[in-house]
Amino acid sequence: MTSGSSGSPGPRLPRGAGNTLVTRGYRGTWADLPRLGLPPVAAALVDGHGAAASAAWEHTLTPRETLVVSGRRVDEEQAEELRAAGFALVPLSGPVSPAAAQPPTAAQPPTAAQPSTAVQPPTAVRPPDEGRLWLMTSGSTGRPKRVAHTLQSLTTVAADQPARRWLCPYAPGAYAWWQVVTLSLAHPGQDVVFVEPDELAGWPELALAEGVTAVSGTPTFWRQALLGAGDAVARLPLQQVTLGGEPVDQSILDRLTDLFPTARVSWIYASSEAGASIAVHDGRAGFPKSWLERSAPGRPRLSVTEGELLIDSEWSADGFSGPLRTGDRAEVIGDRVHLPGRIASDEINVGGSKASAAAVRRVLLAHPGVAWAQVRGRRAPLVGAVVSADVVLTTPVTGATTPASASPARATTATATTVTTELTRWCADRLPDHAVPRRIRLLDEIPIKETLKSDV
Amino acid sequence: MSTLSKDSVRTMMSEVLVAQGKQLPADDATLLTDIGFRSLDFSELALRVEDEVGTELNFDAPGLRSIETVADVLDFLEQLQQA
């Protein structure tokens, strides 16, 4: 992904080195980012996108081994594990100055503006595995773990792309974050506007102001934006709309396709372990059944075994070669293969009858008044578990979070009861009896985590 | 822990049935099989009670086997709250 520079000595620059980055506190090209002087094996504990981009840029230019992760995600135990694994821990605050990563000395103590510059050296020093990039998984399926990649394995878009200005709302160092970053590093014309977590609610206005033409986010991210700032979202001149990180259903694809009829609406299946494996651009949920068992150079081999998606990909993380069991359910429906969610959390055993949380969620989302839904099993007497749902309405019942134990206004409670009764009947008309949600809670807003997911 | 009166639980039981297009008769001696009140319905009613009182109920009770009428349901849920 590098090309020759202008002839002066120094590292070969990535082809996208001249692309523009916009973060809080930095507006400039990759090439203009200050050099950090990171230790050869470094865990960059960043406080935002500016610091993360600087660490990524440093990695592209020097033979090193790097982990980029939000400092908030690394607890004391993980910090010690990293040090024992040979990493120097380097807290980075953005905007990053060239001296930000230097260890403090007696002659140059940390200043008030750079309070988090204390580098913690590794407890087991070792040489770098040059080029190695580490990702920390989200931990949504267990304790966060390190996954080994390289810039090459993360750069999954090979062909040059139309010039675009991307919005990147993903957490620094996440797999999806690296997907946007490597796209920008590898291809000229791919600018990036980063959104800090505390800016998420106002991202449509930021995107409008910055002339963003491509946005990548989870379905929860999109649903939240359409619910809270639909007018601003509709004004965006988007040419590319990308979804990933969660099950992508037809209802959200339809809404985005209707809103942006001239844009390419894509959904991506990717994970830290399997890499980016599936990209679908036809506006339909699921991928074509004909892609199963297909062998083609540069493309992963997809298969379904006992209802689970298996992936064999050259983009997988190191140590995950061969068919990788994804833990995601795969359902062949007609000519498509749908990926409705995690196997472990999808099945709800209701008195011996099995209900699929994904199927119930799909039915709820098909209701015109539902903006978002989450379905799970809830422990219950006699039958072991019943189906329970949290729902956000397109037109909220003001101030009513049900069940109404906090004595909200009587009229509001009555309205909430009417809505939940209607949703129960909607589901009863479309689902077997045991799969109908027995408890429906109305939420005022869509819950979203730093991963942009809501763990549906 | 707050507790619900038998009348309040009866109202909830009625809501469970009404949501399915059924009615709760006035006579508490009515058999559950006659009104189509099933295990799932009992589970839902129990969860409604739990949500309202704000705590989980302990259902490890042999009395579950003898629940045949509307009155049995109301009595049992009242006992559970007092346990």
Q: Please tell me what DSSP assigns to residue A394.
A: S
pLDDT at A33: 93
A382:B42 CB<8 A: yes
Instruction: Residue A323: name the closest of A346, A352, A294, A303 by CA.
Output: A303
Tokens of A362: 């799909």
- In this structure, is residue B77 part of a structural domain? yes
Q: What residue ranges of chain A have pLDDT lower than 50?
A: 2-7, 97-116, 400, 403-411
pLDDT at A273: 83
What share of chain A in percent tops pLDDT 90? 64
Q: Which of A382, A420, A424, A439 is the best residue to mutate to test the B interface, defined by the most B CB atoms within 10 Å of its own CB?
A: A382
What is the pTM for the complete model shown?
0.81
> Contact, A442 vs A416, CB < 8 A?
yes
| Gap from A427 CA to chain B (nearest CA, Å) | 11
Q: Is the peptide bond before A368 cis (omega within 30 degrees of 0)?
A: no
Instruction: Residue A302: name the closest of A317, A318, A286 by CA.
Output: A286
pLDDT at A414: 60
Q: Which residue of B has its CA nearest to A385?
A: B43
Q: Which residue of A has its CA nearest to B16?
A: A438
Q: Which residue has 């009858």 as its token pair?
A: A353
A380:B46 CB<8 A: yes
A382:B39 CB<8 A: yes
- In this structure, is residue B17 part of a structural domain? yes
B40:A381 CB<8 A: no
Q: What CA–CA distances, in Å, run from A326 to A220, A309, A320, A452, B44?
A: 21, 6, 11, 20, 34
Between CA A65 and CA A90 the distance in angstroms is 13
- List the single residue in B20, B40, B47 with the smallest CB-CB distance to A434: B40
- List the single residue in B18, B20, B39 with the smallest CB-CB distance to A383: B39
CATH number reported for the structural domain that contains residue B11 in this entry: 1.10.1200.10
- In this structure, is residue B1 part of a structural domain? no
| Gap from A76 CA to chain B (nearest CA, Å) | 34
| Gap from A292 CA to chain B (nearest CA, Å) | 40
B19:A421 CB<8 A: yes
- In this structure, is residue B72 part of a structural domain? yes
pLDDT at A397: 75
* Other beta carbons less than 10 A from residue A148's beta carbon: 17
B52:A433 CB<8 A: no
Between CA B65 and CA A123 the distance in angstroms is 62
Residues from chain A that touch B18, judged by Cβ atoms under 8 A, are 421
| Gap from B46 CA to chain A (nearest CA, Å) | 7
Q: What is the Cα A331 distance to its own chain's centre?
A: 23
- What is the tens place of the pLDDT at every residue in A180-212? 999 999 999 999 999 998 898 899 999 999 999
pLDDT at B1: 63
Domain hosting residue B75, numbered range: 6-82
Residues from chain A that touch B15, judged by Cβ atoms under 8 A, are 417
- What is the number of domains present in chain B? 1
Virtual CA dihedral for A116, A54, A157, A233, nearest 10 degrees?
70
Task: Return per-residue pLDDT of chain B as tens, 83 residues.
Answer: 678 999 999 999 999 998 888 999 999 999 999 999 998 999 999 999 998 988 888 776 555 667 899 999 999 898 888 77
ipTM for the complex shown:
0.86
- In this structure, is residue B66 part of a structural domain? yes
- Asked if A432 reaches chain B (Cβ–Cβ under 8 Å), the answer is no
The DSSP bridge partners found for residue A349 are A354
B40:A433 CB<8 A: yes
- In this structure, is residue B34 part of a structural domain? yes
pLDDT at A275: 82
Q: Please tell me what DSSP assigns to residue A200.
A: G
A380:B44 CB<8 A: yes
Q: Please tell me what DSSP assigns to residue A396.
A: -
- What is the tens place of the pLDDT at every residue in A312-334? 987 777 777 778 899 999 999 99
Residues from chain A that touch B19, judged by Cβ atoms under 8 A, are 421, 424-425
Write down all domains in chain A, each with its CATH number in brackets. 24-130 (no CATH), 164-343 (3.40.50.12780), 351-443 (3.30.300.30)
- In this structure, is residue B30 part of a structural domain? yes
Instruction: Residue A281: name the closest of A310, A251, A246, A257 by CA.
Output: A257
pLDDT at B61: 57
